[in-house]
Each structure stands twice: as structure tokens, then as C-alpha cells.
Amino acid sequence: MNPVVDKVVEWREKGKQAAVATVVKVERSGPLGPGTSMAVSEDGQIVGSVSGGCVEPAVFEEAMNAIETGEPRLLTYGISDDEAFGAGLTCGGIIHIFVERVDW
């Protein structure tokens, strides 16, 4: 099965709230492709990844907000080719991530 879904099921069975963040679109280059997901529990546990680490802290905060408010959000993170090259990356890109509270 999917380890992210399995962990969310486990959390929900224990009565914990959770949120899931899913990569829905990648423009140019991105560390992980569409469909990749990360889940966060109300007590701060994390499973999965949406970026290999580069935007996880920001997505974590958005997931915690989604747990609290119930409001889903579509997030966009990106880096230009020039900025990427300066950071030692081969090229820039943009990732779009949908974050929502799990209510099942």
C-alpha cells in the first residue's frame, strides 16, 4: 500500500487529526513529481515528502493550519533558473501543492 495513506489511517484510527499535502503540478523541473504526498498529524508527526526537503517546513506550517481551520490551500513554490544555478542546482522550477485536512 501507500505508506502515507497507511500512516494517515493509523492516526485517524487513534482519533488524531491530520492533513495531506499533494504535489498536483510541476513546471520545468521539480524534485518530486505529481502525486507525491506528505502527511502531518496534529501532534507534528510527518510521513512522506513533497520536495525532498526544500519546502517541507513551509508545507508543514500550512498543513498544521489546515488541521486547525479545515481550509484547504493550493500553494506554489518556485526558484528561477539563475537562483537555482547559484545554489548549485541544474535548473529552477515551480511546484504546486494542494494541502487539505483529512476528514475521513
Q: What angle do CA 58, 64, 69 make, to 5 degrees?
A: 125
**pTM, whole model, 2 decimals?**
0.87
Tell me: pLDDT of 91 over 70.
no
Question: How much is the pLDDT for 29?
Answer: 78
What total number of domains does the chain contain? 1
Residue-by-residue DSSP string for 25-57: EEEE--SS-TT-EEEEETTS-EEE-SSTTSSHH
Range of the domain at 42: 3-102
Q: Answer whether 75's CB lies under 8 Å from 50's CB.
A: no
Tens digit of each residue's pLDDT (9 = 90 or more) over 18-50: 999 999 999 987 778 999 999 999 999 999 999
